[in-house]
Structure 1
Amino acid sequence: MSTRRWLTGIAAIAVSVVVFLVPFAFIVIQAIKSPAEASELNFSWPTQFAGWDNLVEVVTFNDNMILRAFVNSTILTVASVVIMVVLAAMTGYVLQRRPGRLNPVINFFVLAGLIAPPAVVPTIWVLQGLGLFKTLPGLILIEATYGLSFCILLFRAFVATIPRQLDEAAVLDGAGPMRLFFQVVFPLLRPVIVTLVVVQSVAVFNDFANPLYFLPGNDNATAQLTLYNFQTQSLSQYNLLFMDILLITIPPLVMYIFFNRKIVAGMTNGAIKG
């Protein structure tokens, strides 16, 4: 049995190296190559290191566009995740603790949010009617809405693990609904909050399609859209493109490395009861 486990562990490590580390190593190698060597797209060590020159050129390209893009992506990520976490936590708590006739209907729409594909043209029409098309607040609402269903399901499952006696004790002490939720229940949701903050932050920060559809324009560019700066139909600057990819990859990678254990804990804590 021990030999079998050992072989399984070795196989898992090998698969992880092939799937994750090899592509990341390819990106790093291409990012430090000269333009001529990077254009060959070979998995080989560069003969001429140009990493610093590539980094400076990417950062200063188009009047420091990538810096503005990182600021936009940071604002978009933080605002969207805050809205998702707060609204989903309140909704999940109510659905779990206050069953009623409307619960099946609400559950249907929550599941529909996971299954039904987003409709781009009607969404643009709604944003135009609200005056939010091509604006960062409009994209924040889009990202928060698209991620809300997944967050609600996790919060609802986790709330089921919290004893109802805590709610009753808080009510007996005179706590109102808002105080009961934010001072008693919400702090107990910390494991799943950390999980959703990390998962949804990475998802929003790495999102490419929604900013492309709902926030076009160089002034509103997010980090992912800066990839268009170095690749066109007639010219591809692969050394700068891969350096840009490397810069975009670092923030989600660092966040995942620091919080990977808490992600697993938050995903599994509510899996037993629900």
Structure 2
Amino acid sequence: MTRAVSTAARWRRFGLSAVSMAVLGVVFLVPFAFVVLAAVKTRQEASLLQLTWPTEWRIAQNFLEVLSARDYLLIIAFTNSVILTVSAVAISVILAALAAFVLQRRPSRWNPLINMLVLSGLIIPPAVVPTIWVLDGIGLFRTMLGLILVEVAFGVSFCILLFRAFLITVPRELDEAAVLDGAGPLRLFFRVILPLLRPVIITVVVVQSVTIYNDFVNPLYFLPGEQNATVQLTLFNFNSQYSNQYNLLFMDILLIMIPPLVMFLFFSRQIVAGMTSGAVKG
């Protein structure tokens, strides 16, 4: 009787797993296959927007045409996106880790106000026109530095919450031992605490890198200009009012998808570990 029940439960779990995998396959793999197949078709076939096998493979031709479009704008855009992503993520990690450490380890009467401001950064939508006015006033509008600061400001609240949740699991005895050994605040943080934050640092780096790399709106508003284009803005090259080059558009999308896809494939476990690390104290 017990064996029959366990067998039925096992088959039930297997059935649920199979259904879940099938749903995930339809939701994720089918669109990805559509993009890949459309990227290697001719312009006429791609314009039909059908999930069919190409009659003529144009992998190298479409790739070279996308790469050389508008004086190799895609290479410039990749360079801009790498500079933007690396700089904004590095600043966000340092600022968020320091802020979370102070909020978690040094409670004060200002903590409720600071916590409200951090949460407001997640709740209140960003205002484009006032932000442009501020950037223009300090001479950072249409500059890479201005866009980096915008990305940091828009994402630092999320990073602080992740770091603070992880710091709950770090024993305070480590702080006390380091202080007794003569470590100052900065040395305590960078020599003792920061190395322990590796799981959540990887999570923040991957999540924020993908978010900033895939950002379309902020570069469009705060860094206008063809030479300032990021990878997402290159999608305009092959989509206009009078002509749609869907084969080149999907080839561009495929090239843009590769870096974040690789990051998620390699760091998926670390992302989950960093997200759930602060769920249970101790």
Q: Is TM more than 0.5 here? A: yes
- The answer to whether the Cα contact below 8 Å between 1:157 and 1:273 also exists between their aligned partners in 2 is no
For residues 2-56 of structure 1, give each alpha carbon's deviation from its aligned partner in whole angstroms, at most 9, with x where no partner exists. Answer: 1121111111111111111110100000000001101111110010111110000
Q: How many pairs align?
A: 274
Name the aligned partner's letter for residue 99 of structure 1: P
Aligned counterpart, 2:154: 146
Aligned counterpart, 2:73: 65
Mark the structure with the bigger radius of gyration.
2
- The answer to whether the Cα contact below 8 Å between 1:58 and 1:243 also exists between their aligned partners in 2 is yes
What is the rounded CA distance, in whole Å, between the counterparts of 2:94 and 2:139 in structure 1? Answer: 25
For residues 148-181 of structure 1, give each alpha carbon's deviation from its aligned partner in whole angstroms, at most 9, with x where no partner exists. Answer: 0000001011111100000000000000000000
Segment drifting more, 258-267 vs 8-17: 8-17
Aligned counterpart, 1:132: 140
What is the rounded CA distance, in whole Å, between the counterparts of 1:217 and 1:25 in structure 2? Answer: 33
Over 3 Å off, 4+ runs: none
Say whether 1:173 aligns with 2:181.
yes
Root-mean-square deviation over aligned CA pairs = 0.8
Structure 2: unaligned runs, 5 residues or longer: 1-8
TM-score by length of 2: 0.96
Equivalent of 2:120 in 112, 121, 125: 112
What is the rounded CA distance, in whole Å, between the counterparts of 1:78 and 1:198 in structure 2? Answer: 11
What is the rounded CA distance, in whole Å, between the counterparts of 2:148 and 2:16 in structure 1? Answer: 43
- The answer to whether the Cα contact below 8 Å between 1:84 and 1:148 also exists between their aligned partners in 2 is yes
Aligned counterpart, 2:3: none
Name the aligned partner's letter for residue 22 of structure 2: A
Aligned counterpart, 2:17: 9
Say whether 1:79 aligns with 2:94.
no
Name the aligned partner's letter for residue 84 of structure 2: L
Say whether 1:262 aligns with 2:270.
yes
Aligned counterpart, 1:253: 261
- The answer to whether the Cα contact below 8 Å between 1:66 and 1:223 also exists between their aligned partners in 2 is yes
Aligned counterpart, 2:50: 42
What is the rounded CA distance, in whole Å, between the counterparts of 2:109 and 2:20 in structure 1? Answer: 47
Name the aligned partner's letter for residue 27 of structure 1: V
- The answer to whether the Cα contact below 8 Å between 1:34 and 1:48 also exists between their aligned partners in 2 is yes
SS across alignment from 2:226: coil
Name the aligned partner's letter for residue 216 of structure 1: P
Aligned counterpart, 2:246: 238
Name the aligned partner's letter for residue 84 of structure 1: S
Say whether 1:97 aligns with 2:71.
no
SS across alignment from 1:219: helix
1:273: Cα distance to partner? 2.9
Aligned counterpart, 2:165: 157
- The answer to whether the Cα contact below 8 Å between 1:139 and 1:215 also exists between their aligned partners in 2 is yes
What is the rounded CA distance, in whole Å, between the counterparts of 1:266 and 1:185 in structure 2? Answer: 15
What is the rounded CA distance, in whole Å, between the counterparts of 1:271 and 1:47 in structure 2? Answer: 52
1:205: Cα distance to partner? 0.3
SS across alignment from 1:93: helix
Aligned counterpart, 1:186: 194
What is the rounded CA distance, in whole Å, between the counterparts of 1:267 and 1:56 in structure 2? Answer: 40
Identity of aligned residues (%): 64
SS across alignment from 1:94: helix
TM-score by length of 1: 0.99
What is the rounded CA distance, in whole Å, between the counterparts of 1:14 and 1:83 in structure 2? Answer: 40
What is the rounded CA distance, in whole Å, between the counterparts of 1:81 and 1:273 in structure 2? Answer: 27
Say whether 1:220 aligns with 2:228.
yes
SS across alignment from 1:174: coil
What is the rounded CA distance, in whole Å, between the counterparts of 2:207 and 2:23 in structure 1? Answer: 22
